[in-house]
Each structure stands twice: as structure tokens, then as C-alpha cells.
Structure 1
Amino acid sequence: MKLHDLKPAEGSKHRKIRKGRGEAAGKGKTAGRGTKGTGARKNVPIGFEGGQMPLQRRLPKLPGFTPLNRVEYQPVNLSQLEQHFAAGDKVDGAALASVGVLRDADEPYKVLARGELTKKLTVVADKFSASAKEAIEAAGGTIEAA
């Protein structure tokens, strides 16, 4: 076989279809775009989703959009623990809800380090800030994950 004997594979080469060149050509008049509608015209707007409400219009206009899978933690400060509990108490969601620190005992909450803690408490929470952990342990208390 020589270089001048090479041929493309059977069926791999096609003639270009010349659209819009008269009815007799077979692809004339609407040139395969159908009749009327946005697709039949030159420009389809950017972001057009076929009549479905476009993404940029489905999302909120102003800042403050919150993703559906975001976890919101109720804040609990050390000053609240100091105020509502005695030394040696076990502080958990039910105890915090009973004294009015939490809205709902079943929602997750996070212990933050605002205020001071002088009592030895066993604190059970979903999350702790690093400085809150240090403060609880410095007061002789223990922490547990809920």
C-alpha cells in the first residue's frame, strides 16, 4: 500500500448540507428550524431555558440566600450556663430548653465563649467553639458531643 492509495473509510465522508438554498434543495424555506418560535430566529437569549423560569430568576435577587442543607445552630453562651445552672449539673438540650435558653431542645445548638464560667459543669452540645471548650475545662468541667 502506498500513500496515494489511501482512502477514507466507507461512509465517513459526507457532502455538506447547504441549508436555505431553495425548496428544491430539500432544506429550503425554514432550513430545518421549523416554523416560528425563538429557535427559528437568529438569536436565542443567553440563559433561555425553553420557557422554564431561568436560573437567574429562580434565585433570590438580594444577598442573604441560604442553602437548603445549611445547619443553623442556636447559640448558647457561657454566661447563660453560669446564670442558670449550679455546680455539678449536667447541661444538655432538655435542661437548656427547660430554663428558656433554647427555643427547641431538638434543634442543634453550639456553646460559645461569651462571658465567664466558674462552675464545674458537664456540658453536652452539638458543637463547641474552641475558646468555650478551654473555658469549660479550665473551670473543671467536662464536654460531651450530643
Structure 2
Amino acid sequence: MKLTDLRDKDGATHSKKRLGRGIGSGSGKTAGRGVKGQKARSGVAINGFEGGQMPLYRRLPKRGFTNIFAKSFVTVSLARIQAAIDAKKLDGKEVVTGEALVKAGVLRRLKDGVRVLSDGELKAKLSFDVAGASKAAIEKIEKAGGSVKLPEQAAAE
């Protein structure tokens, strides 16, 4: 089989209907739009319009809100950090920060900061300077002989 032999199955594609091409074409004059009215005109966009009845999106009550001050953290597991140290992408002697993780290729972007989660085991003694960490992650880091510095701790000092 050659590339030139490839084609769609019969009936898979339809040629576009040519509208407004005379009375004999079957879709001339009004071009299948009926007569007059809003939908016969061009540029009609009436999503949600229910013919004057109160639309569904206005009949239902409003709920909740979007917190404009919410922070979006990037999560990283201890297993990924240990894997980066094992692959010599991350220096165990340096402080582990969000920038260091991005530079090592562990994370793609920082967003509002990094939050460390406790998945996996940590063998290296590391010091972290991150936006957040789970209690279990802090326990595992301290068990390995490391330390965690969080922003609320820095504010308290």
C-alpha cells in the first residue's frame, strides 16, 4: 500500500451544502432557514434562551464563591526528591527549595510554592525551605536527620 492509496471510506465525508443558489437547488431563497424571525438572521447566538420562560441558569440558586486569595501549591513527594538525589540531579548538601527542584527537573513550575508530601522514603539528610509540608512528611524528614523551614515558622522567629 502506498500513501497515495489512502482515502476515507465511502460516505465518511460529505460535501458542504451550497445554500442560496436558486429555487431549483432545493435550498435556495431562504436557504433552509425558514421565514423571518431571529433565527433566520445572521449572527444569532441565543444559548440558554427559552422563549421568554425564565431560563434554567436563572431559575437555579447561586451557590459558593471563588476565593481570589487561594494559593495554588505544587506537590512533590519524598520519593521523587530521593530519586533526584540518587540520580545526582539534586545536591543533598544544599537547602532544598522550590527553585532548586525546578533546576533539578523534579518540578516544571513553581506556582505559589512547593508542598512536600510523605509518599515514599527519604534516606538523605536534607534541609527544606518550602511553602508547606504534611505532618507525616515532616516526621520522615526529621527521622532521616533533616529539617523543614516553613513560612509561618519564619514569621514567628
Q: Taking structure 1 as the reference length, what is the TM-score of the superposition? A: 0.52
Please list every run of at least 4 consecutive aligned residues from structure 1 whose deviation after the TM superposition is greater than 3 angstroms: 53-59
Match of 1:68 in 2: 67
Match of 2:31 in 1: none
Amino acid at match of 1:80: R
CA shift, 1:54, in A, is 4.2
The answer to whether structure 1 residue 77 and structure 2 residue 77 are counterparts is yes
The answer to whether structure 1 residue 117 and structure 2 residue 116 are counterparts is no
SS for the counterpart of 1:120 is: coil
1:58–1:120: structure 2 CA closer, same or farther, 3 Å change rule? same
Identity rate of aligned residues, in percent? 28
SS for the counterpart of 2:100 is: helix
1:109–1:55: structure 2 CA closer, same or farther, 3 Å change rule? farther
1:66–1:115: structure 2 CA closer, same or farther, 3 Å change rule? farther
For 2:99 and 2:59, the matched residues in 1 are separated by: 42
Following superposition of structure 1 onto structure 2, how do residues 100-139 of structure 1 map, counting pairs within 5 Å? 100-139=105-144
Computing the radius of gyration from Cα coordinates, the structure with the larger value is: 1
For 2:103 and 2:133, the matched residues in 1 are separated by: 20
Q: Please list every run of 5 or more consecutive structure 2 residues that lacks an aligned counterpart in the other structure.
A: 1-53, 85-89, 152-157
Q: Taking structure 2 as the reference length, what is the TM-score of the superposition? A: 0.49
For 1:97 and 1:56, the matched residues in 2 are separated by: 44
Root-mean-square deviation (CA, aligned residues, Å) is 3.0
Number of corresponding residues: 92
For 1:142 and 1:68, the matched residues in 2 are separated by: 32
Amino acid at match of 2:71: V
